A and B are shown apart, each in its own frame.
Chain A
């Protein structure tokens, strides 16, 4: 309670509004991402500076140019190419939106835990994602049948209050597991995989795009349950965005 006594009513209102804005923008981000509307995702909702970062198990993109090139340009290119492939298989798809990836289902957000900095300049949020991705058309990519993936992830996001708006500065994705949404026992599959390759939880996949900080930065689910470091945990109450209170240490100046 002492924390709140230090803040004026106006400051508390500002911070409460920041918490709401983060929750809503996280949702908008997740939903437009599901359809591949990357410009609506990144152009509207992000701080566009040298310290913008987007991280994943495979590494961390640093700087707006790297984030935007990998997340918007390359993703849009893939969506449009895929749409034209689909049109060759399904003529009725002609005239529909080539930017949309023909999918439904997305990164459902749950268990949100949000802290707004005492100085009112930033907010930190942790969310679980019990999600499924469903591709209805998928065209030549699914041969007439739908395709799916079930994937659990958790997210750590830092927002900053910049030019009168709450915007992302960091997003970090920690995948836990992913498999098809069909009748598969993903637990046993991962068990077998761990026997064949004890380090499989590190998921040593190379990054699908250039990243400044190569991974692995987090571990996927493993039958041995190795202890993860706690960087990507729920945020604690904090004073200001800094390297001790951030999902992307080293990138917390507004430049």
Chain B
């Protein structure tokens, strides 16, 4: 079972009507069946961001970023989770494999500190630098973002 329960949506359609930006909070559940006949259950929470584009067939998802705050075993207490979890040690990271564009777009160690900057705001037209795609500034520290804006 893999359920991403998206809630609390913030959506803006560009003034030119060609694209839209989405943000929602994912309170997710995941179960894994194991070869020995047992199963594990996890809670996976985090923000989801997306750029959408209007094509002849309707609105389509263009870019999507799923930020993961935690992946906690259902039988464990959240308070048993260390503050810092090194990248690559989470089973889901290993399952994800090696991405085409390897880049950290979110480090949960610092919480949602860039959420306000990343959330959709009213906009006129699509801007690659402010997108949720690989050219976007998601995950970059503020001093890099400011330099790019200049």
Residues on A close to B: CB < 8 A? Answer: 23-24, 27-28, 30-32, 34-35, 37, 40, 90, 92-93, 96-97, 100-110, 130, 132, 134-138, 142, 144-148, 180-183
> Do the beta carbons of B8 and A106 come within 8 Å of each other?
yes
Q: Identify 22 residue pairs between A and B in the complex whose beta-carbon atoms are under 8 Å apart, listed by A's number.
A: A24-B9, A24-B10, A27-B10, A31-B115, A35-B115, A90-B83, A96-B113, A97-B110, A101-B111, A104-B70, A105-B69, A108-B8, A136-B109, A137-B110, A137-B111, A145-B81, A146-B78, A146-B79, A180-B79, A181-B77, A182-B79, A182-B80
Interface membership of B27, Cβ < 8 A = yes
* Interchain CA distance A96-B11 in the complex, whole Å: 27
Assuming the contacts A182-B77, A182-B78, asked whether A134 and B70 have C-beta atoms less than 8 A apart, the reply is yes
Among all A-B residue pairs, the 9 with the closest Cβ atoms: A182-B77, A100-B113, A148-B78, A104-B69, A97-B113, A181-B78, A102-B111, A27-B8, A146-B81
> Do the beta carbons of A136 and B111 come within 8 Å of each other?
yes
Given A102-B110, A106-B25, 13 new contacts (CB under 8 A): A23-B9, A24-B10, A32-B116, A34-B112, A40-B116, A100-B110, A104-B111, A106-B112, A108-B7, A134-B78, A137-B109, A181-B78, A182-B80
Give B126 Cβ to nearest chain A Cβ, in Å. Answer: 20
* Interchain CA distance A28-B2 in the complex, whole Å: 27
Q: Which of chain A's residues has its CB closest to B117's CB?
A: A97
Interface membership of B82, Cβ < 8 A = yes
Which of B9, B70, B112 is in CB contact (< 8 Å) with A100?
A: B112
> Do the beta carbons of A136 and B116 come within 8 Å of each other?
no
CB contacts (< 8 Å) of B10 on chain A: these are: 24, 27-28, 31
Considering residues A96, A132, A136, which has the most beta carbons from chain B within 10 angstroms of its beta carbon?
A136
Q: Which of chain B's residues has its CB closest to A102's CB?
A: B111
Give A217 Cβ to nearest chain B Cβ, in Å. Answer: 25
Q: Which of B51-108 contact A (CB under 8 A)?
A: 69-70, 75-84, 108
* Interchain CA distance A146-B71 in the complex, whole Å: 13
Q: Which of chain B's residues has its CB closest to A99's CB?
A: B113
CB contacts (< 8 Å) of B80 on chain A: these are: 145, 182
* Interchain CA distance A103-B110 in the complex, whole Å: 7
Assuming the contacts A27-B9, A105-B45, A136-B69, asked whether A35 and B78 have C-beta atoms less than 8 A apart, the reply is no
> Do the beta carbons of B79 and A145 come within 8 Å of each other?
yes
Which of A92, A103, A145, A148 is in CB contact (< 8 Å) with B111?
A: A103
CB contacts (< 8 Å) of B7 on chain A: these are: 108-110
> Do the beta carbons of B119 and A31 come within 8 Å of each other?
yes
CB contacts (< 8 Å) of A32 on chain B: these are: 115-116
CB contacts (< 8 Å) of B139 on chain A: these are: none
CB contacts (< 8 Å) of B9 on chain A: these are: 23-24, 27
Interface mask (B1-40 → A, CB under 8 Å = 1, otherwise 0) = 0000001111100000000000101010000000000000
Which of A96, A130, A148 is in CB contact (< 8 Å) with B79?
A: A148
Interface membership of B46, Cβ < 8 A = yes
> Do the beta carbons of A132 and B27 come within 8 Å of each other?
yes
CB contacts (< 8 Å) of A105 on chain B: these are: 45, 69
> Do the beta carbons of A144 and B69 come within 8 Å of each other?
no
Q: Which of chain B's residues has its CB closest to A109's CB?
A: B8
CB contacts (< 8 Å) of A40 on chain B: these are: 116
Give A101 Cβ to nearest chain B Cβ, in Å. Answer: 7
Give A251 Cβ to nearest chain B Cβ, in Å. Answer: 27
CB contacts (< 8 Å) of B75 on chain A: these are: 183
CB contacts (< 8 Å) of A145 on chain B: these are: 79-83
